[in-house]
Amino acid sequence: MIPLSVLDLSPIIAGGDASQALRNTLDLARHAERWGYRRYWLAEHHNMPGIASAATAVVIGHVAGGTSTIRVGAGGIMLPNHAPLVIAEQFGTLAALYPGRIDLGLGRAPGTDQLAARALRRTLAGDEDDFPQSVVELIGYFAPVEPGQRLRAVPGAGLDVPVWILGSSLYGAQLAAALGLPFAFASHFAPGQMMTALELYRSRFRPSEQGGRPHVMLGLNVFAAESDAAARRLFTSLQQAFVNLRRGQPGPLPPPVDDIEALLSPLERSMLAQSLSCAVVGSPETVRQGLAAFVARTGADEIMVTAQIFDHAARLRSFEITAAAQDEPLAGAGRR
d(CA 5, CA 150): 38
Residues 6+ apart with CB under 8 A from 89: 153, 154, 155, 156
Tell me the sheet residues that pair with 224: 282
User: Can you give the pLDDT at residue 333?
Assistant: 42
Tell me the sheet residues that pair with 51: 11
SS3 call for 77: strand
Instruction: Determine contact, residues 330/292, Cβ cutoff 8 Å.
Output: yes
User: Can you give the pLDDT at residue 327?
Assistant: 66
User: Can you give the pLDDT at residue 210?
Assistant: 87
Identify residue 110 by its one-letter amino acid code. P
Nearest alpha carbon to residue 142 among 107, 110, 181: 181
User: Can you give the pLDDT at residue 286?
Assistant: 97
d(CA 186, CA 244): 19
What string of DSSP letters covers 132-196? HHHHHHHHHHTSPPPTT-----TTTTT----EEEEESSHHHHHHHHHHT--EEE-TTT--TTHHH
Half-sphere CA count of 181, side-chain side, radius 13 A: 26
What string of DSSP letters covers 211-270? -SS--EEEEEEEEE-SSHHHHHHHHHHHHHHHHHHHTT---SBPPP-S-GGGG--HHHHH
- Measured CA distances, 76 to 17, 189, 214, 227 (Å): 22, 14, 19, 33
pTM of the model: 0.93
SS3 call for 125: coil
Tell me the sheet residues that pair with 71: 39
Domains of the chain: 1-161 (3.20.20.30), 220-299+308-336 (no CATH)
∠ Cα 62 68 74 (to 5°): 50
User: Can you give the pLDDT at residue 335?
Assistant: 36
User: Can you give the pLDDT at residue 190?
Assistant: 94
Identify residue 315 by its one-letter amino acid code. R
User: Can you give the pLDDT at residue 331?
Assistant: 44
Identify residue 254 by its one-letter amino acid code. P
d(CA 123, CA 187): 30
Helices (H) and strands (E) in the chain, counts: 11, 9
Reported as a single tens digit per residue, the pLDDT across 170-204 is: 999 999 999 999 999 999 999 999 999 999 999 99
Reported as a single tens digit per residue, the pLDDT across 160-177 is: 999 999 999 999 999 999
d(CA 21, CA 87): 24
User: Can you give the pLDDT at residue 119?
Assistant: 74
User: Can you give the pLDDT at residue 125?
Assistant: 57
pLDDT in tens, the chain (336 residues): 899 999 999 999 999 999 999 999 999 999 999 999 999 999 999 998 999 999 999 999 999 999 999 999 999 999 998 999 999 999 999 999 999 999 999 999 766 667 776 777 655 555 557 899 999 999 999 999 999 999 999 999 999 999 999 999 999 999 999 999 999 999 999 999 999 999 999 999 999 988 899 999 999 999 999 999 999 999 999 999 999 999 999 999 999 999 999 999 999 999 999 999 999 999 999 999 999 999 999 999 999 999 999 999 999 999 999 999 976 654 444 433
Using only C-alpha atoms, the chain has a radius of gyration, in whole angstroms, of: 19
Identify residue 257 by its one-letter amino acid code. V
